[in-house]
Amino acid sequence: MHHGDLADAGSLIRLLEKIRPDEVYNLGAQSDVRISFDIPGYTADVTATGVARLLEAIHQLGLPARFYQASSSEMFGKVREVPQTELTPFHPRSPYAVAKLYAYWITVNYRESYGCHTSNGILFNHESPRRGENFVTRKITTAVARIKAGLQEKLFMGNIEAKRDWGYAKEYVEAMWLMLQQPHGDDYVIATGETHSVREFLELAFDRVGLDWQKYVEIDPKFYRPAEVEHLIGNPEKARKNLNWSPQTKFAELVCLMVDADVKLLADRCQ
């Protein structure tokens, strides 16, 4: 492990010079959409300008490294068409999404200006037991495990009507790697092609441990966002065709594997 900082160009140059990587995957960001409304300046510095610093460091050092940028379905925001593809116009709805848009275009720009092998994976929500607890899926699954164990009484939520295209992170990481194995850099939507509401996630997650979600969930407006992305659903056809990639894990399986993992984690901790 090495330490660097997307806000510090010098640290990036020193690291890249030392490691001389063949492939660079930039997953670094201030990635919490709601928090980006509280810290828009910091979000822009790390999530947007940080990518320019990283690309410029690779370019200045003359490294032949292939570059992956973690672009986001949040860039579609107030969606212009359903489902969203690589050609759908963007309409970002948060400081986070605006920053990701800059990062997307600077990645395209280094490809077009200097012929660098750069790719954008426009990833729709991807979840796993390793997801941070501030994101909605993991917030729900940790709460379900705690409620089932008698350690928590209520779960307070924001907008449960929001719909997302949720896939399994493990499979999405393979898509990232596949992008860098292609002869040329390009931009790809990575999604399942299915959409589900937060409400459906709640139903399935509580059901997995034999509980009725309506007895435990309450709405707290403090979790609402100043502007919401209501409905995301991606079309991964280009990735299917060019990368031979397709999602395997269905929504209900994903919910169950996340709940099971949190139930086990809690049981292990309590031993």
Catalytic sites, residue numbers = 72, 74, 96
Residue 83 structure tokens: 């489902």
Q: What stretches of 40-168 show up as alpha helix (H) in DSSP? A: 40-43, 50-61, 95-114, 136-148
Amino acid code (one letter) for 16:
L
Strand (E) or helix (H) holding 126: strand 126-127
The minimum distance between CB 226 and ligand GDD, in angstroms, equals: 11
**Between 135 and 216, CB nearer to ligand GDD:** 135
> What residues numbered 219-238 form the site for ligand GDD, per CB under 6 A?
223, 225, 228-229
* 125: contact with ligand GDD by CB under 6 A: yes
**Between 13 and 103, CB nearer to ligand GDD:** 103
Distance CA 235, CA 254 (A): 19
* 6: contact with ligand GDD by CB under 6 A: no
- Extended beta strands in 134-192, E state: 155-157, 163-164, 167-168, 187-190
Which 3 state secondary structure label does DSSP give 84? strand
* 164: contact with ligand GDD by CB under 6 A: yes
The minimum distance between CB 192 and ligand GDD, in angstroms, equals: 12
**Between 118 and 195, CB nearer to ligand GDD:** 195
* Residue at token pair 């931009």: 187
The minimum distance between CB 119 and ligand GDD, in angstroms, equals: 16
Residue 134 structure tokens: 């501030």
**Between 60 and 134, CB nearer to ligand GDD:** 134
Site string for ligand GDD, 63-102 (x = CB under 6 A): ---------xxx----------------------------
Decide: 168 and 192 in contact? Cβ < 8 Å: no
Amino acid code (one letter) for 63:
L
Which 3 state secondary structure label does DSSP give 91? coil
* 33: contact with ligand GDD by CB under 6 A: yes
The correct pick among 6, 99, 123, 254 for binding ligand GDD (CB under 6 A) is 123
The correct pick among 4, 21, 158, 193 for binding ligand GDD (CB under 6 A) is 158
* Residue at token pair 């940028």: 69
**Between 167 and 185, CB nearer to ligand GDD:** 167
Amino acid code (one letter) for 230:
E
The minimum distance between CB 228 and ligand GDD, in angstroms, equals: 6
What are the C-alpha distances in Å from 37 to residues 32, 45, 122, 139, 169?
Answer: 9, 14, 22, 20, 25
* 187: contact with ligand GDD by CB under 6 A: no
Positions touching ligand GDD (CB under 6 A) are: 31, 33, 72-74, 123-125, 134-136, 139, 157-160, 162, 164, 198, 223, 225, 228-229
